[in-house]
């Protein structure tokens, strides 16, 4: 009933797709974390205009489905603003900003729930806000937030599967491609599921180890 030979015959395509998926996961997670940190800090700023911008960013990107953001990035910019954008740039932009909204909320919670005595001690020594953030607050906030950050990164990797709607050749695209000439979608999509498991289960394990080590 199942013909698994089509998987072995097309393993090279699956590997290519995996490479693309991992590339986008790593890049958009890194960018998402960096932008998310800025947005989290913006929300904590004392100037209300800046904190409003941070809040709006989060609400915007969290509440619109990623698929819509992907299509918007690729098509709306040329249609409305006459700016031509490659699908790779559209994919990276949409995924990074979308991820950033979630990372921002995680980091903001991490910073805000930190013991206020830490800020007291840092300020009492004479540290500036930047110094206390860099040396005392953020290192602790990041460590505390490893579980939700790791969880979000796993979601980010699954989110990259939407890139196929822009015909970026990630795992899901390759799955569709292989299915289109083998007509065996069951085997193909099962194989893709297995690939995700192989990547994510060890990653989860590593994340738990990291969390234990940082305590």
Partner 1 sequence: MSTPETLQDKPLVSIRNLSKSYGPLKVLRDIDVDVHEGEVVALLGSSGSGKTTLLRCVNLLENPDCGRIEISGQAIFNQSAGGDDKAGIKQKQVNTLRSRVGMVFQHFNLFPHMTVLGNVMEGPRIVLKEDDASNRKRAMEYLEKVGMADFADRMPHRLSGGQKQRVSIARALNMRPEVMLFDEPTSALDPELVGEVLSTMITLAKEGMTMLVVTHELGFALEVADRVVFLDQGTIEAEGPPADVLLHPTNERVQSFVNRFHATAELMRPLLQD
Partner 2 sequence: MKFSFMNKLASAFAAVMLLTASLVQPAAATDPNLVLDRIRDSGELRVPVMIGEEPGYIRDRDSGEWGGFYMDWANDIAGILGVEVVPVETTWGNLAADFQAKKIDIAFGLNPNPKRGLVVDYLSVPLFTDAWAIVAKPGFDKKNWADLNDPSVSLVVQKGGTMQVVAEALTPKANIVVVEDRPLGVLEMQAGRADAMVLAIFDAVQVAKQTGGEIILPAPMLLNPATIGYAREEGNEGYENWLTNWVNQQRALGLAQGKLHKSFEAHGIDLSILPPEFSF
* The pair of three-digit structure tokens given for residue 46, joined into one six-digit string: 């004392």
CB 136 within 8 A of CB 117: no
* The pair of three-digit structure tokens given for residue 144, joined into one six-digit string: 């505390």
**Largest Cα–Cα separation, the chain:** 72
Q: In this chain, which stretch among 24-32, 46-54, 118-126, 180-188 interacts with partner 2, using CB under 8 A?
A: 180-188
Contacted by 62, from partner 1, partner 2, none: CB < 5 to 8 Å by type: none
- Using CB under 8 A, pick the residue from 135, 158, 208, 209 that binds partner 1: 135
- Using CB under 8 A, pick the residue from 53, 114, 184, 204 that binds partner 2: 184
Phi and psi angles of residue 145, each rounded to the nearest 5 degrees, phi first:
-95, 10
Contacted by 136, from partner 2, partner 1, none: CB < 5 to 8 Å by type: partner 1
13 is an interface residue for partner 2 by CB under 8 A = yes
24 is an interface residue for partner 2 by CB under 8 A = no
Residue 72 or 142 with smaller CB distance to partner 1? 142
For 137, residues 6+ apart whose C-beta sits below 8 A from its C-beta are 111, 114, 118, 119, 122
136 is an interface residue for partner 1 by CB under 8 A = yes
Q: In this chain, which stretch among 50-58, 68-76, 146-154, 193-201 interacts with partner 2, using CB under 8 A?
A: 68-76
Residue 62 or 135 with smaller CB distance to partner 1? 135
Tell me, letter by letter, the H, E, C secondary structure of 143-203.
Answer: HHCHHHHHHHHHHHHHHHHHHHHHCCCCHHHHHHHHHHHHCCHHHHHHHHHHHHHHHHHHH
Binding site for partner 2 (CB under 8 A): 13, 71, 74-75, 78-79, 84, 165, 167, 176-177, 179-186
């Amino acid at each position: 009933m199942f013909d698994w030979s089509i998987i072995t015959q097309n393993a090279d395509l699956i590997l290519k797709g995996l490479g693309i998926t991992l590339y986008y996961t790593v890049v958009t997670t890194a960018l998402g974390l960096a932008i998310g940190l800025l947005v989290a800090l913006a929300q904590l700023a004392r100037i209300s205009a800046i904190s409003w911008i941070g809040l709006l960013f989060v609400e915007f990107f969290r509440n619109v489905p990623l698929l819509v953001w992907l299509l918007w990035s690729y098509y709306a910019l040329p249609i409305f603003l006459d700016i031509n954008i490659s699908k790779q740039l559209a994919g990276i932009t949409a995924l990074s900003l979308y991820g950033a909204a979630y990372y921002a909320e995680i980091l903001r919670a991490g910073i805000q729930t930190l013991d206020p005595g830490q800020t007291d001690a840092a300020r009492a020594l004479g540290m500036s806000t930047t110094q206390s953030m860099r040396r005392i607050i953020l290192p602790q906030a990041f460590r505390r937030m490893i579980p939700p950050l790791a969880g979000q990164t796993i979601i980010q990797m699954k989110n990259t599967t939407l890139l196929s709607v822009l015909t970026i050749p990630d795992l899901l695209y390759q799955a569709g491609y292989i299915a289109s000439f083998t007509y065996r979608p069951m085997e193909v999509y099962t194989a893709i599921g297995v690939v995700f498991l192989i990547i994510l289960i060890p990653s989860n394990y590593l994340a738990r180890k990291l969390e234990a080590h940082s305590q």
